[in-house]
Amino acid sequence: MSITNTELRKIKAPYTGKPELADTNGLTVRITKKAIITFNFRFQWFGKPQRMSIGRYPEIKLSEAREQVIKLRMAIFDGNDPRYLGEVYTEQSLFDNIAQEYLSLRVDKDLSPNHKRFINPHNNKYIKPIGTINVETFSYQQWISYFGKINHDTSPANAGVF
């Protein structure tokens, strides 16, 4: 059930209700005993539940929080970690660009035609889907999860190639 502005305005200290209320599309509201209301966005990133703070009420209105959630969900849909949505980055820090540069330097020069044919399907399956990720903001745990998926799907040798 959706949260309303009226509900939020009625919250007073000392608050004894539920510590978290759910809205829609992953928007939640956390409420402390001192009636501090914080908007949060809950989402899945590489199969693991995540939560990020959007801001406090009334500095951020409920309608603004909902608009922000739509932008954050679009970032996830585009393959970007929403926690780093506002950060500025260069094209050189995108995973796809780095991978393509590596492949052009290593694959085109050093590998035989048979090995080149082996690399392309893996490139399409493992690099392209997360190509828009800014590698500077990708956490250690996310890299471990990423290479673990390749290891699980193929082999440890393939995980080491990419």
Ordered by start, the domain boundaries in the chain are 5-78, 91-161
Contacts within 8 Å (CB) and 24+ apart, 97-106? 97/131, 98/135, 99/123, 99/127, 99/131, 99/162
Pick the CATH number of 5-78 from 3.30.470.10, 3.90.660.10, 3.40.50.620, 3.30.160.390: 3.30.160.390
Q: How many CB atoms lie within 10 A of CB 37?
A: 22
Global confidence as pTM: 0.56
d(CA 91, CA 59) in angstroms, rounded, equals 34
Provide the CA 61 distance to its chain's centre, in angstroms: 24
> How do residues 48-105 score in pLDDT, each as one tens digit?
899 999 999 999 999 999 999 998 998 888 777 787 765 545 566 778 888 888 777 7
Query: Using 50, 70 and 90 to split pLDDT, how confident is the model at 126?
Result: confident
